[in-house]
Amino acid sequence: MADAGDFAAVLEQQHLERSLAAARQPVPVGEPGECDRCGDDSLRLISGWCAPCRDAEPRRVRRV
């Protein structure tokens, strides 16, 4: 009969498998340009947003 330790081991294995599958996803290439959200120039935009905007950092003051 399975006990709490067995269930924990199964959950841990499932979590590890999901984490590894997520880590194997390809990284989007991106393109240089001006961020649609903050307006800063970036060497790598994904869907028009720079990394800080994608990471939901507080909006920075735009330098002119």
Report the Cα–Cα distance between both ends of the chain, in Å, rounded.
68
Residue 62's φ and ψ, nearest 5 degrees, are -75, 130
12-23 per-position pLDDT tens digit: 999 999 999 999
pLDDT bracket for residue 63 (50, 70, 90):
low
* Contact between residue 38 and residue 50 where contact means Cβ atoms under 8 Å apart: yes
d(CA 52, CA 28): 16
Residue of 41, 33, 45 whose CA lies nearest to 62: 41
29-58 per-position pLDDT tens digit: 899 999 999 999 999 999 999 999 988 755
